[in-house]
Structure 1
Amino acid sequence: MPASNRMRIVRLANFVTESSGGLRTALRQLGAGYAAAGHEPVLVVPGRRDGDQITEQGRVITVASPAVPGMGGYRVLLDRPRLARLLTRLRPDRLEISDRTTLRWTAGWARRHGVPTVMVSHESLDGLLRLLTGGRLRPARLADLLNARTAAAHDRVVCTTGWAAAEFHRIGAPNLLRVPLGVDLAHFRPDRYDPALRAGHAAPEEALLLHCGRLSPEKRPERSLAALTELRARGVPAVLLVVGDGPRRDRLRAAAAEAGQPVRFLRYVADRDLLARLLATADVVLAPGPVETFGLAALEALASGTPVVASAQSALPEVVGDAGLAAPGEGPGYADAVLELLGRPGAERRRAARRQAERFPWSAAVAGFLAAHDLHPADPPAVPVDPRVHPADAPAVPVTSGGR
């Protein structure tokens, strides 16, 4: 892929909702970074209705698409002819695909039109197949076959952690790059700690635990409830605040009420200031999902000065480092990890969390993704460019002599 100057980077993503967490954050931050670097990002996502707007992350095109039953609002771009026509009109210089399954066909469209592609692997096929089979089978052969097809279809495959890249290393994919995501270090900070907010959720002697994430089967939110139950069974005063929404929400609420556990449920928090204060105010954040390939919410917690207990099965121990702990199994392992973290001096654990997060600025992530596209920051345009017009279609700018 030859390097060039100002490029139109069209990005496609499925399984995005108005209340999506990590993926929506990553798309927004990368798009804003591409725009700041002088390129023209265009994001195409499914939605309730058609839309087209200019935002801080560039142009965002929403295509009316059906919801996936039982998935808590996720929508999928399924109209291939319509999407192909849209891509033809957009005339991308680069295509970035944040979906390894339902949008893999767009790599074929790109090859036919001479457009280089980057596929961003936001999930582990190994992990998803393990969950689908209930852990009874290890369908590595099927994962290897599908991953080989994915790697062959795209010019580059980007994974955000070594854990996520392992399944591609196993098949010897020659076009694999590892580029970590980032965190907004200016927004998520330890000084967002809010004593009044804490007093509204926990007594002074209680440990405030926070589960922040989508309440869906692959995230295993019931592990956070099990950790609270185990801690209180050991006589540890603790409360749990659950921030997020999803198909498991009603079941979790019912289980917490039946067990008589002090759990408060907040739905998806769109207010980023409130989210930053919640993360900075909690004593420990729980991230029990076993197939997380990076864990942006956990990284935001670290940036806020709050340690994280993460699933030992996921990529999060790689991201969290010594600023948190990895927990095996279900509730008891998480309770052990929470107790160990709470046993550390508060100022020390907060400094360690922030120090770990500072290894992941979004500027480094943007630079890494641009490098995956064989791109660098572009020279600023001589005249303002409407992102809805490809440079080849832009009207000529008249050249005049003399003053204005």
Structure 2
Amino acid sequence: MTKVLHVITGLASGGAERQLATLLQHLPEECEVACLTEGGRVGERIRAGGFRVHDLRMPSNRDMASLMHLVKLVRDGGFDLVHTHLYRAHLYGRLAARMAGVRAIVATEHSLGRELIEGKPKDRLGVRGLYRASERMGRVTIAVSQAVADYLRAWRIERVEVIENGIDIREFRFDPNARTLVRKVLGIDTDAFVIGGVGRLDPDKHFEVLIEAACRIDGATALIVGAGPDRARLQRLANQLMPGRVHFTGDVGGGMLEIKDLLSAMDVFASPSPSETFGLAPLEAVACGLPAVYSDSPALDGLPGLGDRVARVPSRPDAFVSALREAADLKPVDRCAPPGALERYGVAEQALHVSELYRSVLAE
């Protein structure tokens, strides 16, 4: 059986990390994971799924000892193929694979956006130059959307295959019991109008737009799921504008509450990030039967059959206020019956395409 090592920068609860955890459950290859930095809740989830996770605990971008540890891991593990995810992992994972004698190298680009790559200005010469240099060591880069493929080609990276992200639609099915439990645990009234958001708390995600919009809607409560460096600033803003009405869950998964449970507790989903490479969180919200207001989500753009259940608006509080109020007035639907159009993003089909790509690369 083909043996694959997935190398990823970290395993906190970001979209790329959760996507890897979901994909692993459906790939037929024997897979292990190497995490360069912190483990996090997604790492716990992957281990619970029966996969081995190697934590390198890399202290800095210039730690050569961790690079050599990764080289040894690749060589001693007898891996046939190395698959990298996220910027730092692309740089170190591709190099380690080549140093260990593995030439079958695949990368997935999750985070190259219109202006940023993982929060860094994407057109800084150092960022772009290192990326392009490491790309030459690999065989192919998977783009999670056509938009990402276009950005890669603008960087003169031509060996690109588009394989869109996938979700297990059943995993995000609305659960009325979870809705009741989450609201009880967090102290949210059963009849409160809950505006939710999910994602890493970084400034480029613009969660302040969600808070500033929610504070203008009578009776609204905000539920923000995720961790990240912008949490303290967002909490100060929440305490100023909506004292007692904004709930921050931090990193979730692997414990009593999962993202699917928190989605069930929401009434509308808000994603104010103006530059998304795919938009996994809004897609999961729609799978949970939520109306979604978003600023950018290639996954939802043009997806048929969603009608007025989704609205794309600029990343401004006034635009979100109007759209969220319209969402509150929508006719209730059966949240247990997600739209059939979501079948396009079934993770089993995604895993099939990835596995076929592995075979093609190994045959070269």
Contact 2:7/2:93 (CA < 8 Å) preserved in 1? no
| TM superposition shift of 1:355 | 3.0
Q: Following the alignment from structure 1 to structure 2, what is the Cα–Cα distance between the partners of residues 124 and 77?
A: 26
Match 1:94 to one of 68, 81, 84: 81
Paired residues for 1:308-347 under 5 Å: 308-312=292-296, 315-318=298-301, 322=306, 323-347=309-333
Q: Does 1:267 align with 2:250?
A: yes
| TM superposition shift of 1:327 | 2.0
Per the alignment, residue 358 of structure 1 pairs with: 343
Match 1:32 to one of 17, 25, 30: 25
| TM superposition shift of 1:375 | 6.2
Q: Following the alignment from structure 1 to structure 2, what is the Cα–Cα distance between the partners of residues 124 and 56?
A: 29
| TM superposition shift of 1:108 | 4.0
Q: Does 1:285 align with 2:258?
A: no
What's the TM-score once normalised by structure 1's chain length? 0.74
Q: Does 1:216 align with 2:199?
A: no
Q: Following the alignment from structure 1 to structure 2, what is the Cα–Cα distance between the partners of residues 131 and 58?
A: 29
Paired residues for 1:21-60 under 5 Å: 21-34=14-27, 37=28, 39-46=29-36, 56-60=49-53
| SS of match in other structure, 2:228 | coil
1:338 partner amino acid: L
What's the TM-score once normalised by structure 2's chain length? 0.81
Q: Does 1:166 align with 2:150?
A: yes
Per the alignment, residue 121 of structure 1 pairs with: 109
Paired residues for 1:2-401 under 5 Å: 6-17=1-12, 20-34=13-27, 37=28, 39-46=29-36, 56-66=49-59, 79-101=66-88, 103-111=90-98, 113-124=101-112, 126-128=114-116, 132=120, 139=123, 148-171=132-155, 173-192=157-176, 194=178, 196-197=180-181, 198=183, 200-202=187-189, 204=191, 206-229=192-215, 231-232=216-217, 236-261=218-243, 262-270=245-253, 271=255, 274-312=258-296, 315-318=298-301, 322=306, 323-347=309-333, 350=335, 354-374=339-359
2:103 partner amino acid: V
| TM superposition shift of 1:45 | 0.9
1:253 partner amino acid: Q
Contact 1:208/1:238 (CA < 8 Å) preserved in 2? yes
Q: What runs of 5+ residues in structure 1 fail to find an aligned partner?
A: 1-5, 69-75, 377-404
| TM superposition shift of 1:44 | 0.8
Q: Following the alignment from structure 2 to structure 1, what is the Cα–Cα distance between the partners of residues 158 and 261?
A: 43
Q: What runs of 5+ residues in structure 2 fail to find an aligned partner?
A: none
Q: Percent identity?
A: 22
Please report the RMSD computed on the Cα atoms of aligned residues, expressed in angstroms.
3.5
Q: Following the alignment from structure 1 to structure 2, what is the Cα–Cα distance between the partners of residues 45 and 101?
A: 11
Per the alignment, residue 394 of structure 1 pairs with: none
Q: Following the alignment from structure 1 to structure 2, what is the Cα–Cα distance between the partners of residues 317 and 226?
A: 24
The verdict on how the C-alpha distance between 1:85 and 1:129 changes in structure 2, with shifts beyond 3 A counting, is closer
Contact 1:93/1:116 (CA < 8 Å) preserved in 2? yes
Per the alignment, residue 384 of structure 1 pairs with: none
Q: Following the alignment from structure 1 to structure 2, what is the Cα–Cα distance between the partners of residues 81 and 213?
A: 32
